[in-house]
Structure 1
């Protein structure tokens, strides 16, 4: 799939959640999407756990 199609589907989903459930439905769905991306990258082996922990503790910046 093209990245533009994926982003359009993502935007449509978030718009639907905002219209159907209001602001908090939008926020909750965005948080769950973020958690899903995080878990998916961890399961696929594409997540550097040491880098995440270093960034969270302030030992390393993301730039």
Structure 2
């Protein structure tokens, strides 16, 4: 793991922890969900995630790759 990934993980953990402490559990859940959606959108834009393969996996279709 690179130091950049470690720093990103620390920052994400700090944001989530501070959200929980300052605003409560449901705000924490909302922020975590929004961060996950943002990460998925970022992966799709970068071309590192094939959205059609993900949708196919949820529909029960198997991928050949």
TM-score, length of structure 2 as denominator length:
0.82
Q: How many residues align?
A: 61
Q: Which runs of 4+ in 1 moved over 4 A?
A: none
- Find the partner of 1:20 among 9, 19, 22: 22
Instruction: State how 1:1-63 maps to structure 2 within 5 Å.
Output: 2-60=4-62
Gaps of 5+ in 2: none
SS in 2 for 1:33: helix
Q: Alpha-carbon deviation of 1:19?
A: 0.5
Q: Alpha-carbon deviation of 1:60?
A: 3.0
TM-score, length of structure 1 as denominator length:
0.85
Q: Which sits farther off after the overlay, 40-49 or 4-13? A: 40-49
Partner Cα separation in structure 2 for residue 41 and residue 29 of structure 1: 18
The C-alpha deviation readout for 1:16-56, integer Å capped at 9, x for no partner, is 10011100010000000011001111111111122101111
